[in-house]
Structure 1
Amino acid sequence: MQEGGVARGSARVPQRGGGSRMETRTVVRGPARIGWHAWGAGPAVLLLASLGRGAEDFCEVGPLVAQAGFRVLAPDPRGIGESEGPMHGLTLYHLAEDAAAVLAAEAVGPALVAGHAFGNWVARALSACRPQAVRRVALLAASVTQTLDPAMRAAINGSFDPALSEAERLGHLQRGYFAPGHDARVWLAGWHPPVAAMQREATAATDDHWRRCADRHETLYVAAAQDMIAPVPTLEALRAALGDSVTLSVIEDAGHALLPEQPRAVAEALIRFAT
């Protein structure tokens, strides 16, 4: 396949997402190949997944947004699904360019770019390195700085540590990611430790130019009310970290995982912001 070439295919999205038809596609970018899921038709909405996780996390949110008249694109990071390529010597800008290759292959024009948790850093890097590809930015349950409570860092690391028992991992997931009363078992699977290591290495190698996305694009911060990893910030704190062009929306009864807990509320927030 030549660089920029696209392979097409289709499948059915799991019925829990509303039954919308899902396409699977790939594009080659230099030494990397990036795969993504796609739903619907219309203006583009690009969804970027959390640390060590892939496009499967959007299989509920994606179809709901598509049903409102959008072309929804959810790429897998390198090391998950059809996505592959060098895993060392990268920065957030390399990961952002992988996402930009999806938008270029789709030829859909500037997109609303939404990043969940770690994905927010890639969204902000895309805003910096490919501003013409971005219409607006949405940050979902996002840490806007790299400062993290050590207990929550331990919960993150324990969630996907294969040396731990399922019960131990479940405890870490419940403490770090899910609001009380929600079943954290839905996230026991779907973790890719080598991908998380690559993403952390890339983040550490990146300058600070990417951070202030709201200086470049209108930005929506969607907070989860019971988020223990990224507690609900004040609007003043968001403006100080991101720039003045940011608004804040809070989704109740959700923790840092957010997507499996409140998929419809997330979809509605994205639809409102994209319209």
Structure 2
Amino acid sequence: MSATVSAEMITRGAEATLEVLKQGEGPLVVMLPSLGRPATDFDPIARIVAERGYTVLRPQPRGIGRSRSSAPYKDLHDCAADIATVIEAFGGGPAFVAGHAFGNRVTRMLATDRPDLISGISIIAANVGIAPSGPKMRAAIRASANADLPDDERLEALRFAFFAPGNDPTGWLKDWYPEVLAAQRHAGDQTPRSEDYAGGTGPLLYLQPDTDPLAHVEDAEIFKRELGDRVTVVVIPHASHAALPEQPDFIAAQLLSFMERSHPARAA
């Protein structure tokens, strides 16, 4: 299967025009990035999954790439509606959706609002607690994204919030969009966490970094106890909240293994 990436534009009424990175052929897999980050964070994972017989769609959040909107996101339901429009534009699914960090909340909201479009979901580095992240963590995230700060200060923030000890954070000095981060944060804060908590009722793969200061291993275990056998928890070794650049091969392998059961690739 070809892993060549094309960019396609999808319009959601008057609300938004969305740039969608597309590669591969087969059942739909949608990947949603973290707070203030672009869809290209999934580059190595998307390539591996596409080469295994899937169509991988990566919508750029509003304000990144060529994705535009006349207004900011109102709430998480609005974020999820953008992704529903993308899935509908590519045949209506059902799609398997993987969301990283903030993208995990959009994923869970989409699975709650539009279960008809979803075969299953994966949440990666997911802060599933009812309480939002604390002020020190939010300050570190803002500092990570602030290109006006010295690199040393930003690297310290990245190590604190996003990268496991010994993992190199320098790649994440780029590709931050502070205005998008603020808009997504506002959307999340406008939505009670109880509304997206369960992530629908279908199969759910919870990929939990082993040293994540925002999303803890014990939180993943509690989540599974509460929701039962529909949840599969896998711990990502030597990874923190960034996860994707730290362990892309491991994450891709876990997604593919899980989808073999609930969302198999098209036979060659």
Whether the TM-score (by the shorter chain) exceeds 0.5 is yes
- Structure 1 contact 211–241 (Cα < 8 Å) conserved: no
What TM-score does the superposition give when structure 1 sets the normalisation length? 0.88
1:46 CA drift (Å) = 0.6
Looking at structure 1, the residues matched to 103 and 54 of structure 2 have their Cα atoms a distance apart, in angstroms, of 20
Maintained 8 Å contact 1:140/1:221: yes
Partner residue, 2:22:
38
Runs of 4+ in 1 over 4 A off after TM superposition: 240-244
- Whole-Å separation in 2 of the counterparts to 1:272 and 1:227: 23
Q: Does 1:53 align with 2:40?
A: no
Q: Could you tell me how far 1:212 is from its partner in structure 2?
A: 1.1
2:171 aligns to what? 186
Higher relative contact order (CA 8 A, sep 6+): 2
Letter in 1 for 2:171: V
Aligned twin of 2:111 = 127
Over residues 32-71 of structure 1, what are the superposed CA-to-partner deviations in whole Å (9 max), with x where a residue is unaligned? 1011111111111110000001111011110001111111
Residue 159 of structure 2 is aligned to residue 165 of structure 1: no
- Name the structure where helix makes up a greater proportion of residues: 2
SS of the residue 1:156 aligns to: helix
**How far off is 1:221 after superposition?**
0.4
1:6-155, aligned counterparts within 5 Å?
A: 20-31=3-14, 32-88=16-72, 90-107=74-91, 109-145=93-129, 146-155=131-140
Deviation at 1:171, TM superposition (A): 0.9
Give the distance between the partners of 1:122 and 1:234, measured in 2 at CA: 19
**Kept in 2: contact 1:223–1:251 (CA 8 A):** yes
Deviation at 1:135, TM superposition (A): 0.6
Change in CA separation of 1:166 and 1:125 when aligned onto 2, cut-off 3 Å: same
Q: Is the 8 A contact 2:92 2:117 kept in 1?
A: no
Distance 1:242 1:194, change over 3 A: farther
Aligned-partner residue type, residue 202 of structure 2:
H
Measured in 1, the distance between the counterparts of 2:231 and 2:218 equals 12
**Shift in Å at residue 166 of structure 1?**
1.5
SS of 2:195 mapped into structure 1: coil
Contact 2:73/2:79 (CA < 8 Å) preserved in 1?
Answer: no
Give TM-score, length-normalised by structure 2: 0.90
Deviation at residue 148 of structure 1 after TM alignment: 2.5
Unaligned runs of 5+ in 2: 261-268
Q: Counterpart of 2:196?
A: 210
What is the aligned-residue identity percentage?
Answer: 40
SS of corresponding position for 1:138: strand
5+ unaligned residues in a row in structure 1: which ranges? 1-18
Q: Single out whichever of 62-71 and 232-241 deviates more from structure 2.
A: 232-241
Quote the RMSD (CA, aligned, Å): 1.8
Aligned length: 256
Paired with 2:51 and 2:226, the residues of 1 have a C-alpha distance of: 33
- Paired residues of 2:7 and 2:21 also in contact (CA < 8 A): yes
Contact 2:98 2:124 in 1 (8 A): yes
